[in-house]
Structure 1
Amino acid sequence: MPVNETLSQYSDLSYTTAVAVYVLSMILLLVEQSFGAKGRIAAQRTRERARQLVGSGAPAEGASELPELTPPPVAEPPAPRGRAERFGRMGVALMVLGALLHLAALVLRGVATSRVPWGNMYEYIMAVCLIAVVTWLVVMRRSPVRHLTSFVLLPVVILMFIGGTMLYAVAAPVQPALQSYWLIIHVAAAIIASGVFLVPGVASIFYLIRARHDRDPAKFARFAPRLPETDVLDRIAYRTTVFAFPVFTFGVLCGAVWAEAAWGRFWGWDPKETVAFIAWVIYAAYLHSRATAGWRGSRAAWINVIGFSATVFNLFFVNLVTSGLHSYAGVS
C-alpha cells in the first residue's frame, strides 16, 4: 500500500516535539533535584528530632510543659512544598505530555505505512523509549523517586536523538523478509522487555552509588545522599525485572519459532540470537540469585547492570556493526 506522506510528516513532527518536551521536563526535574534537596534534608532532620523528643518523653515543640502527663504523639511534619517541588510537578506533567506526543508519533507512523510501527531501527528505538517512559511513570506512582526522573529521561533523550538523526528511516513498507505476523508478536515482546529493562538498569546503577556511599560517606558525598535508600532502589530493580523477564523469554521463544518458519531451524547462533541468549542467562542468574542465594546487595545489582549492558550492546552493536540474518536495521 502507498505511504501516507502527510501522516508520516505529522509523525516526525510529533517525534521531534516529544524530544523537545522531554528535554524541558528533564530541566525542570533537574531543578527539583538540585534545589529541592535542602528542603528534603531539613524535613528529614525535623522528623528525626520529633521522634527523639517523643521517644525521650519530652513534650513536642509548642506543647505545654506537663511532666505528669504522657505527651501526645507528634505527627511527622510534611516536607515543605516549595518552588522546587512545583518545578518537579511541572516536569512530570511535561513528561506525560511528551509521552502522549511520543505515542502519537508511533501511531501515526503505523497508520501512514499501514503496518506495525517497528519495522526498522528508528521505529524500534521510538517504541522502546516509549515503553521506558511509561514504565517509569508507573514506578513514580508507587515509589518516591520523582527526583530521579531526569536521570531516566537522559538515556531516553539520547536514544531518541540518535534514532531521529543517525538512524532515521523514511516511512516505507517493511522488507519482504519481515512481512509476517511474527513481526507483531516477536518484536513487540522484544520492545516491551527492552524498554522495561532500562528502568532496573538505571535503578541498579543508583543502588551501587548509594551503597558505596553508605559504606564510605566520603564517596559520592554530594550526589548519593539525594538518592533513595538502597532498599527502595533494590525493590524497583527487582520488581521491574520480574515483569520484563517473562516477556523477554516469550520474545526469544517466538523468535525461535519464526526462525524455524523462515530459515528452517530454531536456532543458528546468529550474532543477535547469541547476545540475546547471553542477556537472558544474565537476567535469569539475577532472578535465581535473588530467589535462592538471597543476593539483595551489590552483587545482584552488578548482575542487573551487566544484563542491561548486554541489552544495549545487542540493540546497537549487533544491529549496526555485525552482519547476520537479523540485519534489518533499515538505516538510510
Structure 2
Amino acid sequence: MTERRYDIDWLRVIAIGLLLVYHVAIAFQPWGVFIGFIQNNDTVESIWTPMSMLNVWRIPLLFYVSGMGVYFAMKRRNWKELIMERSKRILLPFLFGMTVIVPVHVLMWQGYYHQPLSYEFSPGHLWFLGNIFIYVLVLLPIFLLLRKVENDSVSRVLDKIFKTPVGVVILIIPFVAEAMIVKPENFEMYAFSTHGFWLGLCAFFLGFICMMSQTFWPMIAKWRWLWLGVAITFYLIRWMIFNLQTPDYAMAIESSFWIFAVFGFGNRHLNKPSKSLVYLSESAYPIYIIHMLFIYLGSLFFFSLNISGAWTLTFLTLFTFLGCFISYEFLIRRVAFLRPLFGLKQVGK
C-alpha cells in the first residue's frame, strides 16, 4: 500500500492558488498587455514586489511536485498503464484546452482591444501541461531503470547524500548550471522558452529523485528555518540592491531555497488528512485549466468601472476564485462527459 503524502497534495493546491493570484496581478502591471493580458488603466505596481518573490519558485515547485506524482503513480502502474493514464489526465485536457478554453479568452482580449477576431489554436497558460507530458515520455525509461535498482543501490546512495543539509547542493547545481548555460533573457519567464523547458525538466526529474530517499524529508523538515532564512536573504539582496534582478545563477539558488523551505514547512505541518484537501485536491486541476477565462471575463467588466486599481484588483480576485469554484462544483464535476476533459476520473472509476 502506497503511503499517501498529504503535504505534497497540499503544496499542489497552494501552488495553483498562488498561480491564480499571480495571473490576476499581471493584469495590473504596465506591461500586462504585452504578454496577452487585458490590462487595467489604473495599475497597482506595488504588488509586483511580493509577486516577484513568488515568481522565482512557484513554477519550479509545480514541476517538482509533478515529478513526485509520477513516482507514486509508478508504484501502482506499469509503463503502459502510466502512459495511458497520463494521456487521459494530461494530454486530453491539454488538447481540449488548446482547442476550446484558450481560444475563448484570446477572443476576449481581441475584442477588448478592438483587434480583428480570429480563432487561435494555442497552448496559452496550459503550456505547463505540454511540458509535463513530454517529460513523462522522455524520462520514463530512466525512471523505470531507477525503480528497478532503487532498493539495491540508488536509495542507499541518496540516503547518504541527504542525511545532512549539505546534500541539497546536489539539487541546486543543475539549476545553477541551467541558468548559466541557457542564459535566459528573463529568469521568471518560463512559458514557451528554452529556459522554462530545461528548468522544468530538472525540477521534474529531481522531484522523482527526492521521493526515492528515506532521509530527504526528515532532513528537509529539520532544517526548514535555515532554508527560509537563506531564501529571504537572497530575496532581500535581489530587492534592495539589484532592483529585483540578480544574476540568473543567484535567482536559481534563491528559487531552490524557497522550494526547500516550502517542502520543509509543508512536511512538518501539512502531512495529515483533511476533508478540505480531498475537495481542493480534485478541484485544483480543473480550476487551473479554466481560471484565465474568469480573469478575462472579470477584466471586461471591472476594468470598465470607475473605481481604484486596488479595489478592482480585490474584486477581480474574488470574482476569479468564485467563478472557478462555482463552475467546478455545479458543472465540471457533475457532468460526466466534461470530467475527463478537465483531467478528472469518471465517477466510479
> Scaled by the length of structure 2, what TM-score is found?
0.26
Taking CA–CA contacts closer than 8 Å with sequence separation of 6 or more, which of the two structures ends up with the larger relative contact order?
2
